[in-house]
Amino acid sequence: MDLSAINPMLFVAGFLVAATPLIFAAIGELVAEKSGTLNLGVEGMMITGAICGFAVAVESGSPLLGFAAAALGGAALSLLFAFLTQVTLANQVASGLALTLFGLGLSSLLGQSYVGIKPPRLPDIDFGPLREIPVIGPILFTHDIILYLGLVLVAAVWAMLKFTRAGLVLRAVGESHDAAHALGYPVKRIRTMAILFGGACAGVGGAYISLIRVPQWTEGMTAGIGWIALALVVFASWKPWRLLLGAYLFGGITQLQLNLQGAGVAIPVEYLAMSPYVITIVVLVILSRDKSAAPASLGRIFHASS
Amino acid sequence: MNRRTLLAGAAVALALATGAYAQDKTKVGFVYVGPIGDGGWTYEHDQARLAVEEEFGDAVETVYVESVAEGPDSERVMTQMALDGADLIFTTSFGYMDPTINVAKKFPDVKFEHATGYKRADNVSTYSARFYEGRAIQGHIAGKMTESNIIGYIGSYPIPEVIRGINSAFIHAKKANPDVQFKIVWAYTWFDPAKEADAARTLIDQGADVILQHTDSTAPQAAAQEAGNVITFGQASDMAQYAPKPRVSSIIDNWAPYYIDRVKAVMDGTWESTDTWDGIGPGMVGIGEITDAVPAEVKEEALALKEQIASGDYHPFTGPINKQDGSAWLADGETADDGTLAGMNFYVEGIEGDIPQ
């Protein structure tokens, strides 16, 4: 065992990157679920965002344009879900699963000619002297803008849900769509917008994998991160800060177990490999012992006649 | 994606069953563990499938299902293929071994070919390639090229196939450079680009300047390219898009001749359950171009090693070799037998760490 082989600064910087796709996908889904819609298509929207972002970044040479395209791609796919569940009143679970299958197929079709290409690199933000601060500098100030945007997004969603009128209306729609409807709020329009927001966030999360974390395009490259994001929303009790904590915990322990393996720590590898899932779930379950905060109308179909 | 192909297959089977010419075509099914666009393992199997189609044209019909999880899902997929009238089914991952045997029992008239397994039946053949021969050559290049003397290795699952590769690479890296040290990380997946990239980056952070991998995607290449002064090797497929650096050479699986042979055997009615394990000699294992990033003399040594292995003059597991615990395994000049290699569950002397059991 040689723990000195692990560089703590590189390790922390690494897990911030690993957690970012999860943060985007989960915070988007959190908003969608707060409005009362359960979209299981996160994986499909992520992978669609991954290829849309990759393709546009490669063609245009601009990674930022790629991320914008990824948001559009994810939102466009989620529009399909919105149509199915809000207009045709289809079952949300089945529609979400179909969305994932559709997204996986669509992305491999779109990605045919992008295998093996290197995407343009999004430069890290230049923080100047801040970068030179010992320990904190290399950890906090050596990242690209999207990573920081993820943090801002979590804060913004939290503030929006807690302090603003829009947040209140969104939560009202999620808790009791009939009551919200009776008060004159456009339930379907609000839900559609929440779904679109979720799709855009998932798309950006996917593009973060294909443009920054890996970076390349490979079919099926999200490999289950969308599903972890879905679980994270539930275990975080629909609370943005817990969600952030869960994402960091998951990303951190994933990185840590790889580091420990490399350093030859004498814990059986199987335990290390499952530790990110177990520890994240246990910690979040303990944190959420108070009350389950699931929106009361989650997954229920709304029609004005009912 | 899986369902899509499956449904298409079912539809075609239905159409064929009602058509008069249904009996003329030999139907061949393929079960893949990753997507056909993974750029590695599954990609090469699919290339071989296309080669079968090209060879026999209208006489065959192929169907495939990609990204099939090892376990109950794969059993369902195989059963569906057999029900749809497949004559021959290739199952292309180690984890499909028991499902293949189970399904084969239920369909005695359907022939099965399982890649990299060791369980056979009257209607189940096994086949694999001697990748460890290729890994010996990569190990040599790795040992010569490393400057930090730390070589990172991304393992998938601790099965004999992967352990054999680690041992072979280590033995030859050590011969080329007595100071090398292996850092091994198990990913517990065949295909997860994000995780593979993380694993590669972790190893690089810990000082490795050579990354060997036994997982299926090109993500470690991408990570190494970004890190700069690190070299990698193509796995299963050439991965030439990362040449001349970081990818400096590769092991290529060439299944096409074997697949064409076996499909032909089914057509002729001469198919028998066999166990095939071919290497560099017969061409089932190829060595991708060694790029100019490798010094000329090292390249020459590597090619010489390849020649020796191909001609059978040299076996990558030739004694004296001890096991990790120091006990003797192969005496001076003795070579390993296939049985031991097929079930290999120990590291050779000099590798640190334990194999997950």
- Alpha-carbon span B134 to B132, nearest angstrom: 5
What single DSSP character describes residue A208? H
Sign, CA torsion A32/A34/A38/A41: positive
For B182, nearest residue in chain A (alpha carbons): A262
Q: Cβ B219–A216 below 8 Å, yes or no? A: yes
CB-CB contact of A84 with A90 (8 Å): yes
Q: Cβ B38–A219 below 8 Å, yes or no? A: yes
Q: Within 10 A of B138 (CB to CB), how many other CB atoms are there?
A: 28
pLDDT band per the 50, 70, 90 thresholds, residue A202: very high
pLDDT digits (tens, 9 = 90+) for B270-321: 999 999 999 999 999 999 999 999 999 999 999 999 999 999 999 999 989 9
Fold for domain B131-254+284-342?
Answer: Rossmann fold (3.40.50)
Tokens representing residue A194 in the block: 């929440």
Q: What average pLDDT does range A57-79 have in this prediction?
A: 96
Asked whether the predicted pLDDT for residue B330 surpasses 80, the reply is: yes
pLDDT digits (tens, 9 = 90+) for A90-109: 999 999 999 999 999 999 89
Going by C-alpha positions, the residue among A6, A218, A248 that lies closest to residue A147 is A248
Of the candidates A108, A218, A266, the beta carbon closest to that of B218 is on A218
For A211, nearest residue in chain B (alpha carbons): B222
| More confidently predicted of A165 and A289 | A165
- The terminus-to-terminus CA distance of chain A in angstroms comes to 65
What's the pLDDT at A118?
84
Judged on CB neighbours under 10 Å (0-12, 13-18, 19+), A287 is middle
Q: Which of A65-74, B236-245, B330-339 has the highest mean pLDDT?
A: A65-74
Judging contacts by C-beta atoms under 8 Å, the chain B residues touching residue A213 are 194, 197-198
- Which amino acid belongs to residue B69? A
- Alpha-carbon span A153 to A147, nearest angstrom: 10
Asked whether the predicted pLDDT for residue B6 surpasses 70, the reply is: no
Provide the percentage of residues in chain B whose pLDDT is more than 90.
Answer: 75
Q: Cβ B4–A101 below 8 Å, yes or no? A: yes
For B239, nearest residue in chain A (alpha carbons): A116
The bridge status of strand B111-115 relative to strand B247-253 is unpaired
Of the candidates B39, B195, B205, the beta carbon closest to that of A218 is on B39
What's the pLDDT at B18?
46
Asked whether the predicted pLDDT for residue B339 surpasses 90, the reply is: no
| More confidently predicted of A268 and B159 | B159
The bridge status of strand B275-278 relative to strand B124-129 is parallel
Asked whether the predicted pLDDT for residue A296 surpasses 70, the reply is: yes
What's the pLDDT at A2?
66
pLDDT digits (tens, 9 = 90+) for A175-199: 999 999 999 999 999 999 999 999 9
Going by C-alpha positions, the residue among A77, A87, A2, A89 that lies closest to residue A40 is A77
Asked whether the predicted pLDDT for residue B98 surpasses 80, the reply is: yes
Judging contacts by C-beta atoms under 8 Å, the chain A residues touching residue B217 are 218, 221
Domain B23-129+255-278 and domain B131-254+284-342, same fold? Reply is yes
Judging contacts by C-beta atoms under 8 Å, the chain B residues touching residue A24 are none
pLDDT band per the 50, 70, 90 thresholds, residue A290: low
Interface predicted TM-score (ipTM) of this complex, two decimals: 0.84
Gap from A279 CA to chain B (nearest CA, Å) = 18
Fold for domain B23-129+255-278?
Answer: Rossmann fold (3.40.50)
pLDDT band per the 50, 70, 90 thresholds, residue A306: low
pLDDT band per the 50, 70, 90 thresholds, residue A293: confident
Please enumerate in sequence order all residues whose Cβ is within 8 A of that of A4, keeping only pairs 6 or more positions apart, or say none. none
What's the pLDDT at B21?
47
What's the pLDDT at A268?
80
- Alpha-carbon span B233 to B218, nearest angstrom: 10
pLDDT digits (tens, 9 = 90+) for B195-233: 999 999 999 999 999 999 999 888 999 899 888 899 999
Of the candidates B202, B222, B242, the beta carbon closest to that of A214 is on B222
pLDDT digits (tens, 9 = 90+) for A248-258: 999 999 888 88
pTM for this predicted structure: 0.84
What's the pLDDT at B103?
96
Q: Cβ B183–A264 below 8 Å, yes or no? A: yes
Of the candidates B184, B186, B203, the beta carbon closest to that of A273 is on B186
What single DSSP character describes residue A83? I
CB-CB contact of A201 with A73 (8 Å): no
Which residue do the tokens 């090398």 mark? Answer: B180
Strands, E assignment, B169-227: 181-186, 210-213
* A to B CB pairs, distance under 8 Å: 124
- Which amino acid belongs to residue A275? S
Judged on CB neighbours under 10 Å (0-12, 13-18, 19+), A189 is exposed
CB-CB contact of B8 with B66 (8 Å): no
CB-CB contact of A1 with A260 (8 Å): no
- Show which residues on chain A lie within 8 Å of chain B, measured between beta carbons: 5-7, 10-11, 14, 18, 21, 101, 104-105, 108, 111-112, 115-118, 121, 209, 213-216, 218-225, 254-255, 258-259, 261-264, 266, 268-270, 273
Asked whether the predicted pLDDT for residue B91 surpasses 70, the reply is: yes
Tokens representing residue A139 in the block: 């950890």
User: How would DSSP label each residue in A210-252?
Assistant: IIIIS-S--TTTTTTHHHHHHHHHHHTTT-HHHHHHHHHHHHH
pLDDT, chain A, mean: 91
Which residue, among B4, B32, B206, B235, would best test binding to A if mutated, counting the most A CBs under 10 Å from its CB? B206
Asked whether the predicted pLDDT for residue B248 surpasses 90, the reply is: yes
Provide the percentage of residues in chain A whose pLDDT is more than 90.
Answer: 61
CB-CB contact of B183 with B208 (8 Å): yes
Q: Is B228 on the interface with A (CB under 8 A)?
A: no
Q: Within 10 A of A40 (CB to CB), how many other CB atoms are there?
A: 21
What's the pLDDT at A133?
84
What residue ranges do the domains of chain B occupy? 23-129+255-278, 131-254+284-342
Which domains, and CATH codes, for chain A? 3-288 (1.10.3470)
pLDDT band per the 50, 70, 90 thresholds, residue A287: confident
- Alpha-carbon span B141 to B129, nearest angstrom: 21
Q: What are B114's strand-pairing partners? A: B91, B126
List, as ranges, residues 76-135 from B with C-beta within 8 Å of A: none
Provide the percentage of residues in chain A whose pLDDT is more than 70.
Answer: 98
Q: Is B47 on the interface with A (CB under 8 A)?
A: no
For B1, nearest residue in chain A (alpha carbons): A105
Q: What average pLDDT does range A6-31 have in this prediction?
A: 91
For A255, nearest residue in chain B (alpha carbons): B198
Going by C-alpha positions, the residue among A203, A181, A201, A199 that lies closest to residue A190 is A181
What's the pLDDT at B244?
85
Judging contacts by C-beta atoms under 8 Å, the chain A residues touching residue B200 are none
List, as ranges, residues 146-185 from B with C-beta within 8 Å of A: 152, 158, 183-185
